[in-house]
Amino acid sequence: MVDLPADPTLDEIRAALAPLLPRQAAFDGWRPAAVENAARLAHVDPAIARLAFADGAVGMIDAWFASIDARMAAAIPADTLAAMKIRERIAALVEARLALLAPDREALRRALAILALPQNFARSAKLGWRAADGIWRLAGDTATDYNHYTKRMTLGGVYAATMIAFLDDESEGHADSRAFLSRRLDGVMRFEKAKARLSARKDNHFSLSRFIGRLRYPVV
């Protein structure tokens, strides 16, 4: 039984049932039957649970991924992350996320198949962005310029590719997926360093307007 207030809202029911859904979806698919079975396990009225997930399969998957977001944030203490280098933080957070998904790989496989449908492209992109944004924020990223967007787009691609590899990874402790992730993150870090060098060059290039401005208003 899940912990719910005496008179829960639909959002509270949705959040409470979300972690229970993948075990049901692995057998029943991301369909109303999975919601109803999860509701019975949680001692929630199935009819009310169906209202909480009136947005269908993608809504169920969204709620499950949101629960993974929250559990990932709680998996690694802030002081532990603070002691790591940025690459190590990203790797640790993605690996924590994969560990949370590991017991429900069949449900994940079905979820990704649904999100890959053309009509779900926008929602899928939104969920991918949310995952990448959460990881970067937990890693301490505070960028607000174009780097904010490029970092999330790049990590989103890495995370999506890693999940595909993870689905069929039978290595002990998912070592192959971790190695795959490590190689992709090495590429991301090289890209970020190259961007930083390019930005530094742009900041230091000759500017005629700045030169004229200094002639007119010399630095004293």
What's the whole-number average pLDDT of the chain? Answer: 89
Identify whether 210 is part of a domain. Answer: no
Give the domain extent around 187.
86-204
Helices (H), the chain: 10-17, 21-28, 32-41, 46-52, 56-75, 78-82, 86-101, 105-115, 121-138, 146-167, 175-204, 208-216
Identify whether 3 is part of a domain. Answer: no
* Neighbour-count burial of 17, counting CB atoms closer than 10 A to its CB (0-12 exposed, 13-18 middle, 19+ buried): buried
Identify whether 119 is part of a domain. Answer: yes
Identify whether 147 is part of a domain. Answer: yes
Identify whether 179 is part of a domain. Answer: yes
As for how many domains the chain has, the answer is 1
Identify whether 146 is part of a domain. Answer: yes
Identify whether 60 is part of a domain. Answer: no
In sequence order, the 6+-apart residues with CB closer than 8 A to the CB of 198 are: none
Q: Note the pLDDT tens digit of each residue in 45-65.
A: 999 999 999 999 999 999 999
Tell me the average pLDDT across 175-196.
Answer: 85
Identify whether 164 is part of a domain. Answer: yes
Q: Note the pLDDT tens digit of each residue in 96-136.
A: 999 999 999 999 999 999 999 999 999 999 999 999 999 99
The pTM (predicted TM-score) of the whole model is 0.84
